[in-house]
Chains A and B, each alone.
Chain A
Amino acid sequence: MTTNKSDKFNARTVLEEGKSVVYLSGELDLSVAPDFRLVMEPLVGDSDVDLVINLKDLKYIDSTGIGILLSILKARHSANASFSVAEVPTQIQKLFDMTGIAKFFEPQGNSQ
């Protein structure tokens, strides 16, 4: 199928004063998981720079997407590097609460 994936899901990285902010939009599901991993890989590995994922325009996330966030949490935690999520929509926060991933983002999403 020739769906334009960037219509469906987009990850835009903005460098702001010593931190990388990744703005996600659209639907983060199994079909775009490899693209999302690819975008995040170098950012996750750079432990000198704070990492924030902004979810304001994310419409949907599945367990694959939550699993990727979890693996980022683990990697950043073991590198003693900060990672947080910002502007989480209500429906997505509900899934974070249900699965239990929410507690790893607190307080203020800092992994410290």
Chain B
Amino acid sequence: MKADQTVTLNLPATADYVDIVRLNLYGIASKMGFSYEDIEDMKVAVSEACNNSVLYAYGQEGGLVEVIFGVNGEELTITVKDEGVSFSLPQEKSDASTLHDKELHDVEIGGLGFYLMQALMDDVSVASESGKGTQVILTKRLTRSEEKV
């Protein structure tokens, strides 16, 4: 694929459309030559970003999620944007939390999504502005000499 091309999806911010994002991701990432495992990792990360928009951006009224796949040679950048209420990030903690150092009775459900994005992508950046929605940018770089799809 040539450098610096983009594919943009505009989807209703409902849970029913998140699998459409995964299908498109699969198509684009496999064209670029990402390994099966990298694609599976990106599927999880991009779905978590979309879940955040679906769950927290718009309340009852509904709205749109824009997903932009940026193909830059050796790098895939996926931007997930909404124009809703921004969600609060787990910034107080040094890192998004996992269950590793917890006992079952201390565990709280939720909060794993952001951790998974960070763990599964090379870069994650989140820009959130009050009244202007949230933008999550996920980046994965191609690593050579791996099994191709």
Q: Of the 9-residue stretches B78-86, B111-119, B138-146, which lies at the interface with chain A?
A: B111-119
Docked Cα-Cα span, A30 to B48, in Å, equals 9
A29 and B47 form a contact (CB under 8 A):
yes
A1 and B51 form a contact (CB under 8 A):
no
Within 8 A of A (CB), among B85-132: 98-102, 104-105, 107, 109-110, 112-113, 115-116, 119-120
A60 and B43 form a contact (CB under 8 A):
yes
Task: Say yes or no for A71: interface residue by CB 8 A criterion.
Answer: yes
Interface string of A80-112 (1 = CB under 8 A from B): 000000000001000100111101100000000
Within 8 A of A (CB), among B68-83: none
Residues from chain B with a CB closer than 8 A to the CB of A78 are 105
Using A62-B48, A62-B51, A98-B98 as known contacts, say yes or no to A8 and B113 having CB atoms under 8 A apart.
Answer: no
B104 and A63 form a contact (CB under 8 A):
no
B51 and A101 form a contact (CB under 8 A):
no
Main secondary structure of the interface of B (DSSP, over half): helix
Chain A residue with minimal CB distance to B20?
A1
Using A29-B19, A29-B47, A31-B15 as known contacts, say yes or no to A74 and B98 having CB atoms under 8 A apart.
Answer: no
CB distance from B100 to the nearest CB of A (A): 4
CB distance from A79 to the nearest CB of B (A): 13
B48 and A63 form a contact (CB under 8 A):
yes
A62 and B16 form a contact (CB under 8 A):
no
CB distance from A112 to the nearest CB of B (A): 12
A95 and B18 form a contact (CB under 8 A):
no
Chain A residue with minimal CB distance to B47?
A62
Residues from chain B with a CB closer than 8 A to the CB of A104 are 99, 104
CB distance from A35 to the nearest CB of B (A): 11
B16 and A99 form a contact (CB under 8 A):
no
Task: Say yes or no for A19: interface residue by CB 8 A criterion.
Answer: no
B19 and A62 form a contact (CB under 8 A):
no
Interface string of B5-36 (1 = CB under 8 A from A): 00000000011111100100000000000000
Interface on A for B, CB 8 Å cutoff?
1, 3, 8, 27, 29-31, 33, 60, 62-64, 66-67, 70-71, 73-74, 77-78, 91, 95, 98-101, 103-104
**12 examples of A-B residue contacts, CB within 8 angstroms:** A8-B19, A30-B18, A60-B22, A71-B109, A74-B104, A74-B105, A98-B98, A98-B120, A99-B98, A103-B99, A104-B99, A104-B104
